[in-house]
């Protein structure tokens, strides 16, 4: 592994500093997602650099895993392609170490517990921070069972970010709010990741309830993939980018197309967006999108019209951030 560039700041983390800066400007954060290694790790590096340039505030990198139980077909296929291409946890961390010399945005890994456990909890946390990783989301690790990883992560300076589901009880929401570091990931809907035609009608109420028990940044993910949905929520973009990467793999315009889509997603999140996010208005889904898909955009898995650009994943923050993912 190459010698790491700048590691984790010793006092204020990059995640904390990013959310504080955006809050001070009245902006919402856009968190974009890429499956690391799809279509290649070299492409992943270029995509992350372009994502920062076009407005992404935080970038999530999915660590490909053979059994991605929280992910829908688009990200499942991306993970399989990345694994077939030889992507491993160590190679993802090496890519992050290279990226850290090129980008300043916070980098968060989205993974499952098995690869982390196999790597070794202490070794994973230390290597991740040395490479320049700021946080980790472990999709299948409930907070009640996360103490060993949390201890290793805290010692290394790595934020462990927990997920709040639509089915989380009030007491469990409070537990997650206490134990999550960096931000709290709100899963917008039940089921797997993927693009949806409409946003859940109770999402705004769930965000308001969460804000009653925490001042930590809140990010919203799963099923957000168009500029209209991003505007309705205030921060979130899930499946469109990954699907775009899938459709444009091998194209000389891949990076440019993804960058254009990221810029469109970020536009509604700039200063002036109301807080808290309002209940999504009619027309916040794919079918009502007024954007014109770029030439050659495929339909992917979803029956809805393809959003402009490509595959992204959304994020959240407090003000909620938007996370884009499929």
- Look at residue 192 and give its three-state secondary structure: coil
> How are beta strands 58-62 and 107-111 bridged, if at all?
parallel
Of 38, 52, 60, 198, the catalytic one is 60
50 is an active site residue: no
Residue 86 Cα to chain centre, angstroms: 22
Percent helix, percent strand, percent coil in the chain, to nearest 5 = 40, 15, 45
Closest listed residue to residue 266, CA positions, set 315, 326, 311: 315
CA separation for the pair 299, 168 (Å, rounded): 33
71 is an active site residue: yes
Q: 108: which strand partners?
A: 60, 135
Q: How far is CA 266 from CA 47, 78, 188, 304, in A?
A: 16, 24, 19, 21
Of 57, 71, 198, 238, the catalytic one is 71
Cα three-residue angle 202-205-206, rounded to 5 degrees: 85
Q: Which residues are catalytic?
A: 60, 71
């Amino acid at each position: 592994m190459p010698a790491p560039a700048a590691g984790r700041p010793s006092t204020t983390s990059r995640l904390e500093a990013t959310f504080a800066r955006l809050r001070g400007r009245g902006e919402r954060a856009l968190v974009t997602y890429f499956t690391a290694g799809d279509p290649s790790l070299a492409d992943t590096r270029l995509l992350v650099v372009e994502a920062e340039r076009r407005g992404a505030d935080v970038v999530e990198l999915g660590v490909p895993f053979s059994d991605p139980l929280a992910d829908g077909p688009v990200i499942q296929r991306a993970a399989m392609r990345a694994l077939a291409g030889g992507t491993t946890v160590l190679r993802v961390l090496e890519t992050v170490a290279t990226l850290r010399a090129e980008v300043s945005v916070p980098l968060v890994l989205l993974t499952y517990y098995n690869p982390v456990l196999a790597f070794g909890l202490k070794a994973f946390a230390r290597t991740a921070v040395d490479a320049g990783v700021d946080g980790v989301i472990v999709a299948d690790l409930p907070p009640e069972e996360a103490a060993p990883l949390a201890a290793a992560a805290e010692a290394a300076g790595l934020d462990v970010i927990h997920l709040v589901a639509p089915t989380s009880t009030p007491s469990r929401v409070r537990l997650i709010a206490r134990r999550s570091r960096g931000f709290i990931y709100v899963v917008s809907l039940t089921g797997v990741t993927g693009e949806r035609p409409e946003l859940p009608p109770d999402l705004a109420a769930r965000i308001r309830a969460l804000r009653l028990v925490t001042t930590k940044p809140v990010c919203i993910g799963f099923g957000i993939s168009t500029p209209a949905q991003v505007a309705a929520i205030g921060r979130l973009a899930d499946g469109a980018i990954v699907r775009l990467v899938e459709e444009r793999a091998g194209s000389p315009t891949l990076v440019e197309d993804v960058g254009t889509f990221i810029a469109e997603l970020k536009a509604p999140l700039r200063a002036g967006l109301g807080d808290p996010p309002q209940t999504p208005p009619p027309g916040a889904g794919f079918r009502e999108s007024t954007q014109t898909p770029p030439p050659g955009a495929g339909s992917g898995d979803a029956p809805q019209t393809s959003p402009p650009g490509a595959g992204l994943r959304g994020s959240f923050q407090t003000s909620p951030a938007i996370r884009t993912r499929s």
